[in-house]
Chain A
Amino acid sequence: MAVMSYLEAIRETLRQEMRHDQRIIIYGEDVGVRGGVFRVTEGLQKEFGEDRVIDSPLAEAAIIGTAIGAAVNGLRPVPEIQFADFIFPAFNQIVQEAARIRYRSNGEFGVPLVIRAPFGGGVHGALYHSQSVEAFFAHVPGLKVVIPSTPYDAKGLLAAAIQDEDPVLYFEHKAAYRSIKGEVPEERYIIPIGKADLKRPGKDLSIITYGLMVSYAQKAAETLEKEGISVEILDLRSIRPLDVEMILETAKRTGKVLIVHEDNLTGGIGGEVSALIAEHALFDLDAPIMRLAGPDVPAMPYSPPLEHAFMVTSDKITEAARKLAKF
């Protein structure tokens, strides 16, 4: 089995799905000749032509709005938003049009659309190239939101998103692009949207997380294992819909839950996961639910010490988990 980076897995999945389905088109800022600023789509225009891999103007509302129109009329657009931070001009089109069209048309119109966007910090991107935006969209019924943590999941979730009949936001952590590598099967496969993944079984506490934080949590779990603390890790993979069953199972199994995300604390997915556990598994808990998340400041700051202060790290996860284990 080939070992690929997270970024390569995304590119090869786009290539494989595009070969399989002529309806798929890619467009966005710099995705064609350059192959994207992160080079995720490198080589795709050469293989599929300028008709299917298109450099668009800098106009996010138009990129997503036209993708909606094309999706309703028989194409399978996979537009890229260059940085997740740039998605907000398209917020209206995503939230009020894409998410709503099936509902208001009784299922007669669908919007098979995948919006790819790199997100997240720790790469010195500062205020407008580092944000986590998933909670804005996870709030919206009619949208699906997935965030892979490994190259294997990057492929399976992207294929599932492309084959889905409804709009899916596919967020890629830019710090994971080249730093995370793993085995990826050659053949086509999907990972069903809404299915979490038990990354590591454990006895003393559960870390529930997603995206880049999964690898950070794994590192923390290895450290804690040496201290005799057994950590279970649940990778949500989809943050809308959430895998409620697996969330409750892990909470009940260990009785202690640490929820980790890089997105800001308040209104983040951790609040929703926490509420689900409180509603359905409160009496199985041995400690209050703990959340570790980005601080409630308006954006990721620039200077390295400030950025580090914002970012959730393995060390911060280790410390929080240690504290929870002792409760």
Chain B
Amino acid sequence: MDSYADMYRMMCLIRFYENRMAEVYAEGKSPLFSIAAGPVPGEMHLAAGQEPVAVGVIRHLRRDDVVTAPHRPHHFAIAKGIDLRRMTAEIFGRTAGLSHGKGGHMHLFDPAVHFSCSGIVGAGFPPAVGAAFAFRRQHRDSVAVAFAGEGAANQGTFHESLNLAALWKAPVIFVIEDNHYAISVPKEQSTAIANNSDRAQAYGIPGVFVRGNDVLAVSEAASEAVARARAGKGPTLLEIETTRFYGHFQGDAETYLGAEEKEKWRQSDPIPQFRDYLLAHHLLTPDDDAAIQTEVAELVEDAIAYARQSPEPQPADALTDVFAPSLGGK
């Protein structure tokens, strides 16, 4: 399992990536905003501020454990160990991308680390339960984690999946990322109870709400949930309070959000807080921190440079991989 300094490094890598992606995304998109202009020709949902959710949970996972993620997937993908170069090339829509430019940033996948995501809110819950079911049937101790936002917890698939996972004692962990807003609608205006984690009771499984966007608290809750799943004791529902530093998408004017609220979020940035904690406990030195900042910047710049030089796909590439290559006359 990663050390605290490794967790900090991962959070910094995600943050640097998201901040740089915000800059790269803006290239060519001003003065007139056009979604197709610049090197990233599509939508962009950034996860800066939400690093504790990804890092706190995924540090307990192995390479063979499955993660399904939603439309805001970068932090999960990076924490799961996805190839950063190919991920970036995919976001740029280039041939070196994970799906050769067919997917874009909301549809990242990497079979090597068992990571996938979907652009449909709530769609990832049932496949995660299915993966967990397959592991049990194959007598493997792998687990599956379905990440989704608090808005997704109002989808029918969420409830159907919790019921089925509880019934089957499937090795799956449901992680709800509560960043307070489903695009513009605050949680209290969409959800009948304060904490989605309480909904676990309805399915007879543990439900834990983790406050404060605190990576160590997340890690503690996830540690228990993953151990429980791996031991064959069934699913857990975690809901993790977090904050979204950027808008729902890049270009979101965030008219629904007061400047004060946003400023409060920025003031409680989980990364400096964790750094101060590590420094105070002598788990990190200022020199370590400087080295980490240099290293993550190099990794991200390398990935961006790699993406920029990758060629664009050919039109004919749009027609490939609809079905498996014909095998034995099937």
Contact = CB atoms under 8 A, between A and B. Distances in A.
A57 B99 CA distance: 35
A62 B157 contact: yes
Interface in B287-324: 320-324
Interface string B126-166: 11111111110110000010000000000011001101100
A162 B129 CA distance: 22
Nearest to A27: B133
Given A142-B323, A190-B330, A93 B123 contact: yes
Contacts of A165: 323-324, 327, 330
B246 interface: no
B178 to A, nearest CB: 23
Interface string B162-196: 01100100000000000000000000000000000
A69 B323 contact: no
A32 B120 CA distance: 32
A160 B327 CA distance: 11
A72 B131 contact: yes
Contacts of B127: 65-66, 68-69, 72, 93, 97
Given A66-B130, A68-B130, A96 B157 contact: no
Contacts of B66: 69, 73
Interface stretch (B15-23, B100-108, B218-226): B100-108
Contacts of A251: none
Interface in A281-322: none
Interface string A22-49: 0001000000000000000000000000
B137 A59 contact: no
A231 interface: no
B109 A75 contact: no
A166 B137 CA distance: 21
A92 interface: yes
Contacts of A144: 323
A190 B126 CA distance: 31
Q: Which residue among B128, B130, B131, B144 has the maximum number of chain A CB atoms within 10 Å of its CB?
A: B130
Interface size classification for chain A: 35 or more
A105 B138 contact: no
B236 interface: no
A192 interface: yes
Given A25-B137, A69-B127, A164-B330, A59 B322 contact: no
A217 B245 CA distance: 65
Interface residues of B, number: 44
A229 interface: no
Contacts of A97: 118, 120, 123, 127
A142 B129 CA distance: 23
A110 interface: yes
Nearest to A164: B330
Interface string B62-73: 000010100000
A74 interface: yes
Contacts of B329: 190, 192
Contact of B123 (A51, A77, A96, A160): A96
B92 interface: no
A311 B161 CA distance: 38
A158 to B, nearest CB: 13
Given A73-B66, A105-B109, A107-B324, A65 B129 contact: yes
Contact of A104 (B109, B129, B131, B161): B109
Given A97-B123, A102-B321, A142-B323, A71 B163 contact: no
Contact of A102 (B103, B138, B144, B324): B324
Contact of B131 (A61, A70, A92, A192): A70
Contacts of A267: none
A67 interface: yes
Contacts of B163: 57, 59, 62
A136 to B, nearest CB: 17
B213 interface: no
B130 A71 contact: yes
Interface string A71-89: 1111101000000000001
A16 interface: no
A271 interface: no
B133 A70 contact: yes
B106 to A, nearest CB: 10
11 contacts: A61-B126, A64-B126, A69-B129, A70-B137, A74-B134, A89-B156, A104-B102, A104-B103, A105-B98, A105-B111, A108-B109
Given A59-B164, A65-B160, A93-B126, 16 more contacts: A59-B163, A62-B157, A62-B164, A69-B130, A69-B133, A92-B120, A96-B120, A97-B120, A97-B127, A105-B99, A107-B321, A109-B116, A141-B322, A160-B330, A164-B324, A193-B330
Interface of A: 25, 51, 56-57, 59, 61-62, 64-75, 77, 89, 92-93, 96-97, 101-110, 141-142, 144, 160, 163-166, 190, 192-193
For the complex of A and B, the 8 pairs showing the least CB-CB separation, nearest first, are A65-B126, A69-B130, A69-B127, A66-B130, A62-B160, A165-B324, A59-B160, A73-B134
